[in-house]
C-alpha cells in the first residue's frame, strides 16, 4: 500500500498549487493529479452537480489505485466532502480545514477575510471552520465571492491589467473592513497572489497575511500518511502523472509554468467513463 500514489484532484489547474506543496514536503511519494478541465469552474454549480462531479473525479483516481485522496478544491471541500467520505473507504483530506486552522493561528486582530467561489461562500463552510479553529474568540469573518478569478487563472491571465481591475473590484470592500488576514479560499487564487497582495494592501505597518492552504495541506497529508503507516519508504524520487478531461495543451502549458518543470505524463480522459482519449 505505501508505494501506491496519492490522488489529488481539482476542477482545473488550481490544485497544482497543492500538488507542488505535497511534492516538496513528500518528494518520494508518487502522485496522480486529475484536473476536470472540461467542467471547470465548479463554483457556480448546484450542490447536487458538484457532488456528482466529485464522486466521478474521486472514482477515477480510485480506479487508478491511489492510497489516499486529497481534495485540492475548496468548492468540493465545502459542498461534497461528506458525500465522498460516505462513498469511499479511503483516507481523505481536504484543503478547507488546513486553511481555516492556519487563518485562526495567524490573525492578530481577529478580522479575517475569505475570498472563494460563490458555492463555497454560500455554504458558510469557511466561517464555521474558522470559528471552530479559533474557538470563536470574537473573530469577525468577512466573505466575498470572486467568480472571475478562476477563469482568469485557467486562461493564464494571472498578472495582467484585467486581473488587476477585477481584483480591485472584488477586494476593495474587504480592504475597507480593515482585515489583517485573507484566506485564499480557492486553490486557483494563490496563482494570483502578487495581484491580490498588491490590491489588498496593508493595515498600518503590517501587510495583510494571505493564507494559502497548500502548505498546510501538504503538512497534514504527511501527518495522515505517517499515522496510517502509508509513507513511501522508497529512496527514489516520486513520479507524478497528470490527467485532464479537456484542453490538454492549455493545461500542459500552464502546469509547466506553475510547477517550473516538464510534466512527467499527461493524458486526457473521461472521468465518467473508462476510455482514454489522447496522450500528450
pLDDT tens figures, 217-231: 999 999 999 999 999
pTM of the model: 0.89
Average pLDDT for residues 249-261, to the nearest whole number?
Answer: 93
Q: What pLDDT is recorded for position 276?
A: 44
Q: What pLDDT is recorded for position 93?
A: 96
User: What does DSSP assign to residue 208?
Assistant: P
- Domain 6-94+215-279 fold is Rossmann fold (3.40.50)
Q: Beta strand pairing status for 111-116 and 181-184?
A: parallel
Q: What pLDDT is recorded for position 116?
A: 95
CB atoms within 10 A of CB 233: 7
* Residue 224 CA: distances (Å) to CA of 37, 218, 230, 232, 258: 28, 10, 8, 13, 26
Q: What pLDDT is recorded for position 280?
A: 37
Average pLDDT for residues 239-263, to the nearest whole number?
Answer: 94
Rounded to a whole number of angstroms, the CA Rg of the chain reads 18
Q: What pLDDT is recorded for position 205?
A: 58
Place of cell 497534514: 220
Contacts of 15 (CB under 8 A, 6+ apart): 8, 9, 33, 35, 72, 73, 187
25-81 per-position pLDDT tens digit: 999 999 999 999 999 999 999 999 999 999 999 999 999 999 999 999 999 999 999
Average pLDDT for residues 97-107, to the nearest whole number?
Answer: 94
CATH of 97-213, one of 3.30.70.270, 3.40.50.1860, 3.40.50.450, 3.30.930.10: 3.40.50.1860
Q: Is the pLDDT of residue 277 over 70?
A: no
Average pLDDT for residues 9-24, to the nearest whole number?
Answer: 96
CATH 3.40.50.1860 domain position(s) in the chain: 6-94+215-279, 97-213
Under DSSP, is residue 274 helix (H, G, I), strand (E, B) or coil?
coil
CA–CA separation, 163 vs 148, rounded Å?
A: 9
- CA 128 to mean position of chain CA atoms: 18
**Per-residue pLDDT band at 204 (split at 50, 70, 90):** low
Catalytic residues: 73, 186
136 vs 142 pLDDT, higher one: 142
- Residue among 183, 200, 165, 161 nearest 104 (CA): 183
Average pLDDT for residues 265-278, to the nearest whole number?
Answer: 73
**Per-residue pLDDT band at 275 (split at 50, 70, 90):** very low
CB atoms within 10 A of CB 197: 15
Q: Is the pLDDT of residue 137 over 50?
A: yes
Average pLDDT for residues 12-30, to the nearest whole number?
Answer: 96
Q: Is the pLDDT of residue 11 over 50?
A: yes
Mean pLDDT of the chain: 93
Q: What pLDDT is recorded for position 269?
A: 96
Amino acid at each position: 500500500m505505501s508505494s501506491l500514489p496519492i490522488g489529488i484532484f481539482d476542477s482545473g489547474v488550481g490544485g497544482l498549487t497543492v500538488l507542488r506543496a505535497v511534492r516538496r514536503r513528500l518528494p518520494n511519494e508518487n502522485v496522480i493529479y486529475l484536473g476536470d478541465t472540461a467542467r471547470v469552474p465548479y463554483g457556480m454549480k448546484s450542490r447536487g452537480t458538484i457532488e456528482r462531479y466529485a464522486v466521478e473525479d474521486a472514482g477515477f483516481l480510485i480506479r487508478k489505485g491511489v492510497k489516499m485522496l486529497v481534495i485540492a478544491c475548496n468548492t468540493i471541500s465545502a459542498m461534497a466532502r461528506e458525500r465522498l467520505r460516505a462513498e469511499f473507504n479511503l483516507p481523505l483530506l481536504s484543503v478547507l480545514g488546513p486553511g481555516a486552522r492556519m487563518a485562526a493561528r495567524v490573525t492578530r486582530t481577529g478580522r479575517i477575510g475569505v475570498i472563494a467561489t460563490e458555492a463555497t461562500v454560500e455554504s458558510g463552510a469557511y466561517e464555521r471552520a474558522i470559528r471552530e479553529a479559533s474557538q470563536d474568540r470574537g473573530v469577525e469573518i468577512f466573505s466575498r465571492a470572486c467568480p472571475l478569478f478562476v477563469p482568469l487563472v485557467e486562461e493564464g491571465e494571472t498578472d495582467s491589467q484585467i486581473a488587476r481591475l477585477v481584483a480591485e473590484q472584488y477586494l476593495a470592500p474587504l480592504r475597507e473592513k480593515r482585515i489583517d488576514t485573507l484566506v485564499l479560499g480557492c486553490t486557483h487564487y494563490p496563482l494570483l497572489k502578487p495581484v491580490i497582495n498588491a490590491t489588498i494592501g496593508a493595515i498600518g505597518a503590517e501587510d495583510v497575511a494571505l493564507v494559502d492552504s497548500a502548505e498546510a495541506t501538504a503538512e497534514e497529508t504527511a501527518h495522515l500518511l505517517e499515522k496510517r503507516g502509508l509513507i513511501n519508504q522508497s529512496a527514489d524520487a516520486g513520479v507524478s502523472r497528470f490527467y485532464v478531461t479537456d484542453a490538454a495543451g492549455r493545461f500542459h502549458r500552464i502546469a509547466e509554468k506553475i510547477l517550473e518543470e516538464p510534466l512527467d505524463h499527461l493524458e486526457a480522459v473521461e472521468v465518467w467513463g473508462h476510455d482514454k482519449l489522447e496522450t500528450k
